[in-house]
Structure 1
């Protein structure tokens, strides 16, 4: 049998993914520094509300509340032994919403980075990374996730480990990296390097692309890089809702629904098939994106000037594909 995402991809020329997890949970009362994954047990109704908000806004795919649900990340909260169970519950809550949506909706099991640096720069071995990802993958599979969604990865070595874990779990998967250092990931990978990597993996993703990063304009430049590489695999674009700004003690993203609607159209015309938002993207943004995708005709591939004119300038002059950029390791959580 084909998986749910493949079936949708066979019938549609674009699909809309969801928006932010952290941003929307903070709006529901999550405190900074707390593990969102613990809410799967403590506040399941709020997690169902998160998922339903995306589906009601038009998302064809939504990600489970399991981004930091691996043992390495949960160790920071003393919950490393609950990694499989918390991921299972995240997916089970997702099934509750998808199965009553009245239309095909894909439950994508979010798998974020371990937060550790892999060998040889760090101490995390390939075998340990595979084990960490595999445990989470099995939990998401048990809970009913349709597909694994590996996201916000910066190191190619970690991307490979996640791919191997998906194979061990016999799960289809998608994978995105975050490009935010002058067009490169924190560990120096370029858009061209990721497009080449996915085709060399023994267990290839159904789709690949970029999420998070700096802003929507930068992400679209990366999407153009994927398209230029010539891959026929579906491309994912999940950009932030504008640029983060610190306002009255809180992080605020300045992207309006209108800006995100323009971003969605530009992403589609740049070559993306799966289009969603990342940090700062609320159901209000998603509704505007869905309306734009449904009503605005497909146009030619935009130029870099088209992108900057419509949604703002780039954060750097380089797209990362020229010269060498140093790796800059740090840890992050999708919000």
Structure 2
């Protein structure tokens, strides 16, 4: 079936519009607002942006639907309005085209879901295809001329979007844009040639690049894209440089003249669609239109005047033959290991916790666990305290709790590299308590990935690459584990979660507090059918009857059996002694059923943990 858009591209370069969000922001819309919803509540504002781009000379305009999917819209309570918003987005763009009276094309914009796909995030490919199918249906119902898949950093995700678009409209032209970093690769390490090849095989009509980088690095990426695309049309829409925040607003430094010269250079490379992304405006589009209309070739500079800005990854360093096993794993294999948790202080004074670490080192404790803002309450950086303890008491193994709650995928990897450089070698991979439990219940949780996803990131670093597959030079040598809950109310559901964690390859497990031998035996019996990796049983000595009731009723993941709470009730003022005695009994009973113990002092009472250890044979 003939396609007017593809026919037009066969005749020569086509100019697309620029940023939608930048213009809406300039006109008073907050970045906290849902831009896509404006198609319903303020269609005139969105139409004005389209009209301004058409008046500047754009021959292709994109609908205001970049974030129109159920995952992103759920943050605004609009997940049930995907098709309506998408359909209306096309109608607003078409209305602008009719008012201006230009034969421009309307491309239905489809952006990423905003959450990573499995195995690094919660969304399956089937989930992704279902979400993309809904927005594609809405765009088709509105009457778009093409689908534009844009700003995808995950090749698997854009392929899912492409499959969904094809199921909705087999003959509709699809423009597929991938975003690359300054290393010239996608988030997961795909090169431009790999991405282009996969997209063309999957049925994309036009392939290209948008967002993430500015004009100069994009030109370098486009050299590879054009070479890999062969006869297929190529599209390019860069940002106007990197954003700056000044005067309470974001600004992009790239001038209209600079983007105009980019357009000329891109067309010289063989690009067929040229436009802009973040920071570009009708002024940029007008300058590009005038530059392309001049038909003057791009300026050729001597080689010494050119610059190449893509950063090369570090050269891989082969892992040493017979690389030494992390010492924690060796100890877990050779003896019963004792670790004691230390919570970072809520202020800057580390005197108390450092004294606790000194006591542990003097008493022969093998390791200390340093928690990462447990219960989502603000505390000193776990990594900072871990380094301080490691520096002063090097004989102690440091097990750094590392959550995905507060860091995005980039922050997780940066901090892991930093931890390794500081000599911290043991990572407990945790999803983390949600902010709603803590000091700032309205704080934004990141959760780009979860505990299994974090373990896979650590695996890759131990193999010498980051999540993108880019070399980090020498491989890391982390020992890494995860948490499990033997006393979960729904043990079947817990073991389903444990199985998912085990697929990510943990090297040790640490448990939530356990209070009776029978529940521990049941857990160990089921776990033994899945894995034989080392397990440290969690024991938290009770302080009083009220403490037992508090843990049982108010702290997620902790179950204190009725008979334990009754015994603490009978203890009265002698609760602390009885709590220690109960912990001693359990430790003695479970030694043959665990590879170590993970003691958690309540209220920073390290002496209680030492008392528990006094009963060791």
- TM-score relative to the length of structure 2: 0.49
Map 1:170-319 → 2, pairs under 5 A: 170=169, 171-201=172-202, 204-298=203-297, 308=307, 314=309, 316-318=310-312
Q: CA deviation at 1:242?
A: 2.0
Query: Residue 326 of structure 1: SS of its match in structure 2?
Result: coil
1:306–1:287 distance in 2 versus 1, CA, 3 Å: farther
Q: CA deviation at 1:255?
A: 0.6
Is the 1:18–1:61 contact (alpha carbons within 8 Å) kept by the matching residues of 2? yes
Q: Which residue of 1 aligns with 2:483?
A: none
- 458, 463, 467: which is aligned to 1:327? 467
Q: Which residue of 2 aligns with 1:158?
A: 157
- TM-superposition CA deviations, 1:14-72 (whole Å, max 9, x none): 00011001100001111121110111111111111011111111111010000000111
- TM-superposition CA deviations, 1:301-334 (whole Å, max 9, x none): 98986663xxxx62x433x7x97863369xxxxx
Q: Which residue of 2 aligns with 1:7?
A: 7
Consecutive unaligned residues in structure 2, runs of 5 or more: 317-463, 470-617
- TM-score relative to the length of structure 1: 0.89
The 2-side partners of 1:162 and 1:305 are apart by: 42
Q: CA deviation at 1:103?
A: 3.3
1:149–1:206 distance in 2 versus 1, CA, 3 Å: same
Structure 1 stretch 32-41 or stretch 223-232: which is displaced more? Answer: 223-232
The 1-side partners of 2:30 and 2:251 are apart by: 15
User: Which one has more relative contact order, counting CA pairs under 8 Å at least 6 apart?
Assistant: 1
The 2-side partners of 1:268 and 1:304 are apart by: 20
The 2-side partners of 1:14 and 1:160 are apart by: 26
1:275–1:306 distance in 2 versus 1, CA, 3 Å: farther
Q: CA deviation at 1:300?
A: 9.0
- TM-superposition CA deviations, 1:221-243 (whole Å, max 9, x none): 11111123252111111011122
Q: Which residue of 1 aligns with 2:602?
A: none
The 1-side partners of 2:303 and 2:113 are apart by: 34
Structure 1 stretch 175-184 or stretch 49-58: which is displaced more? Answer: 175-184
Q: How many residues align?
A: 320
The 2-side partners of 1:177 and 1:186 are apart by: 10
The 2-side partners of 1:299 and 1:258 are apart by: 13
Query: Residue 59 of structure 1: SS of its match in structure 2?
Result: coil
Q: Please give the root-mean-square deviation of Cα atoms over the aligned residues, in Å.
A: 2.3
The 2-side partners of 1:198 and 1:303 are apart by: 35
- TM-superposition CA deviations, 1:118-155 (whole Å, max 9, x none): 12222211111111001000001111111110000011
The 2-side partners of 1:288 and 1:251 are apart by: 22
Q: Which residue of 2 aligns with 1:50?
A: 49
Q: Which residue of 2 aligns with 1:332?
A: none
Structure 1 stretch 113-122 or stretch 51-60: which is displaced more? Answer: 113-122
- TM-superposition CA deviations, 1:93-119 (whole Å, max 9, x none): 111122344332100000000012112
1:325–1:119 distance in 2 versus 1, CA, 3 Å: same
Consecutive unaligned residues in structure 1, runs of 5 or more: 330-335
Query: Residue 35 of structure 1: SS of its match in structure 2?
Result: coil
The 2-side partners of 1:304 and 1:118 are apart by: 42
